[in-house]
Amino acid sequence: MVKDIAFSSFPAKNVSALRKFYTDALGIRFGEPFMQDGVEKYAEAQVGNGWFAVLTTDWVDVAPSGGIAFEVDDIDASLDAVRKAGARDIEDVHPLPTCRISSFRDPEGNEVTLHQAT
């Protein structure tokens, strides 16, 4: 039976640039990337108890799509940071009874949700 999520990954044509986006915009700290023929192909970061990775589209036949939600302390500050780092299609913050959420697309087109518990 499933006991945990090993990692979630996003495809990227340019792994190095997408890793830099997440580091600059959300402060995600990645480990040493896997290089092949001088090109960054994979990088992962521990986020809470799970792992988030970016990997080359050379390895997967999947277009950028998305499907991750990051918990943040301050959604407004986080949205300002992703906006400055080059995110697009940033939604307004939606206040819900137990949280505030917003989504955006990273530079590769993956959809990301930010979640702030209230």
pLDDT tens digits for range 10-43: 999 999 999 999 999 999 999 999 999 999 999 9
Percent of the chain beyond pLDDT 70? 98
Interatomic CA distance for residues 107 and 82, integer angstroms: 10
Q: 3-state DSSP call for residue 80?
A: helix
pLDDT over threshold 90, residue 62: no
Instruction: Say if 3 falls within a structural domain.
Output: no
- Structural domain contains residue 13: yes
Q: What is the pLDDT of residue 2?
A: 64
Q: Give me the pLDDT at residue 46, please.
A: 95
Host domain of residue 63 = 8-117
* The pLDDT value given to residue 67: 78
For all residues of the chain together, what is the average pLDDT? 92
Would the pLDDT of 65 be above 70? yes
**How many domains is the chain partitioned into structurally?**
1
